[in-house]
Structure 1
Amino acid sequence: MIRLLSSLLLLIISAGTAFGQTKITASEAAKIFEKNKKVQLLDVRTQKEYTDKHIANSVNLDWNQKTEFEEGLLSKFNKKSPVYVYCLSGGRSAQAAKNLVERGFTVYEIEGGILKWEAANLPLEKSLSQTPKGLTLKQFKALTKDDQMVLVDFHASWCGPCKEMEPFIKQVAEKHKGKVKVLKIDVDENNTLTKQLGITSIPVLYLYKGGKRIWKHTGFADLKTIEKQLN
């Protein structure tokens, strides 16, 4: 009888792991991601949290934005492959993981989220330099007067095209390090400045050289468009 109960318990645990959600440590997850760059990795925090820092190659779907979460899940994730999910410390990812399991996904939840990931000294993708809130026109001019070219990205967290451009801006900062300095200005946090500069829509890119603006682009810009101005 004891042997039978043990076998049944093992069967239940195995089934739960295969068809449900499994928790893995940050270190275990990092080893998997290092070997496979194409894993389905889901970050369920807010857009702002994600922009500040996130695990490389992750997709951000805010768990608290139910409609967007549902739509993004259907369009960006495949049930045939496992999904690795994380948040800041584990609360939201646990809820999201349960939801995914109910939908038929195989889920691996990263224990402790970003906090445990950082504690293990694992790498994170971090945002480009954000300007302070309430930047004055004088301060702005001082920041754009530099020996390097200065690319200014006027954006907002709610702006779809801004989010699409973010990877391009990051590539520019990395590729042209030492030649181009990138400044990201949140228009909601710098309302007075953007009014003084006459910015009425976003995204907007300004390129400065020696304190003088040499290029302005309003609306979405792909990497090729930006690179053309830098070269």
Structure 2
Amino acid sequence: MIRLLNSLLVLIACLTTAFGQTKITASEAAKIFEKNKKAQLLDVRTQKEYTDKHIANSINLDWNQKAEFEEGTLSKLNKKSPVYVYCLSGGRSAQAAKNLADRGFTVYEIEGGILKWEATNLPLEKNLSQAPKGITLKQFKALTKDEQMVLVDFHASWCGPCKEMEPSIKQIAEKYAGRVKVLKIDVDENDTLTKQLGITSIPVLYLYKGGKRI
């Protein structure tokens, strides 16, 4: 099982670094936005994700809606100024950054996206009318406190690397049935828990035994 997990980690590394775009940290980006309120900041998540929470003064163009994305970037962005791009954790923003760079934009990708931004305790504009989603930290601890090992898969429905890993996760669940329990956590539905556990990128795999991460 350890060999299989190691293989999955190699896959993650390959998939998340394939695009090689220029990156800046959340802290570096925040300093730029503080000095320049008119900086071109592009959120490439879905409209629902954007409504839930986003970085102030950003515009939203969903990367998954390719035609609308390309049309929107042409009408709303200025090629003479740099564009700062982010998503939830980096997968979609890497693809969007490459697309923009290929079309002549100067692009900076905010490393780690919203997850890293929150982990750095930087401010976000949020939909305050919405109740916290997902399971609580107490419930998570109860689920991972088991005599058999618990493999926790932090993922999202839109995450390409997560989909690539899914068959291997299923294989682990079947091969080690009775010894390993697989717990899948959708980060979009568990944003509070994700922040509490310090998850700043996906996919992430944690292995627990008796409630302790091993």
User: TM-score if structure 1 supplies the norm length?
Assistant: 0.47
Mark the CA change 1:26 to 1:66 in structure 2 (over 3 Å): closer, same or farther: same
Report the Cα distance in structure 2 between the residues aligned to 1:105 and 1:74, rounded to whole angstroms. 10
Report the Cα distance in structure 1 between the residues aligned to 2:21 and 2:34, rounded to whole angstroms. 21
Q: Deviations over 1:79-105 (max 9, x none)?
A: 000000000000000000000000000
1:81 counterpart = 2:81: yes
Using the TM superposition, give the Cα deviation of residue 26 of structure 1 relative to its aligned residue in structure 2, in angstroms.
0.2
User: TM-score if structure 2 supplies the norm length?
Assistant: 0.51
Match of 2:56 in 1: 56
* Residues 21, 106 of structure 1: 8 Å contact kept: no
Using the TM superposition, give the Cα deviation of residue 128 of structure 1 relative to its aligned residue in structure 2, in angstroms.
3.7
Structure 1 vs Structure 2: percent identity of aligned residues?
91
Runs (5+) with no aligned partner, structure 2: 1-19, 133-214
Matches within 5 A, 1:1-231: 21-130=21-130
Report the Cα distance in structure 1 between the residues aligned to 2:116 and 2:40, rounded to whole angstroms. 20
Q: Deviations over 1:96-115 (max 9, x none)?
A: 00000000000000000000
Give structure 1 regions of 4+ aligned residues with deviation exceeding 6 angstroms. Answer: none
* Residues 21, 94 of structure 2: 8 Å contact kept: no
Runs (5+) with no aligned partner, structure 1: 1-19, 133-231
Name the SS of the counterpart of 1:117 in structure 2: helix
Report the Cα distance in structure 2 between the residues aligned to 1:102 and 1:78, rounded to whole angstroms. 15
Q: Deviations over 1:24-69 (max 9, x none)?
A: 0000000000000000000000000000000000000000011111
State the Cα RMSD in Å.
Answer: 1.6
Q: Which has the larger radius of gyration?
A: 1
Report the Cα distance in structure 2 between the residues aligned to 1:128 and 1:77, rounded to whole angstroms. 29
Using the TM superposition, give the Cα deviation of residue 127 of structure 1 relative to its aligned residue in structure 2, in angstroms.
1.2
Using the TM superposition, give the Cα deviation of residue 75 of structure 1 relative to its aligned residue in structure 2, in angstroms.
0.6
Report the Cα distance in structure 2 between the residues aligned to 1:67 and 1:88, rounded to whole angstroms. 21
> 1:125 is aligned with what amino acid?
E
Name the SS of the counterpart of 2:22 in structure 1: strand
Number of aligned residue pairs = 113
Structure with bigger RCO (C-alpha 8 Å, 6+ apart): 2
> 2:47 is aligned with what amino acid?
Q
Report the Cα distance in structure 2 between the residues aligned to 1:57 and 1:27, rounded to whole angstroms. 16
Mark the CA change 1:21 to 1:80 in structure 2 (over 3 Å): closer, same or farther: farther
Report the Cα distance in structure 2 between the residues aligned to 1:107 and 1:130, rounded to whole angstroms. 33
Name the SS of the counterpart of 1:105 in structure 2: coil
Report the Cα distance in structure 2 between the residues aligned to 1:94 and 1:103, rounded to whole angstroms. 14
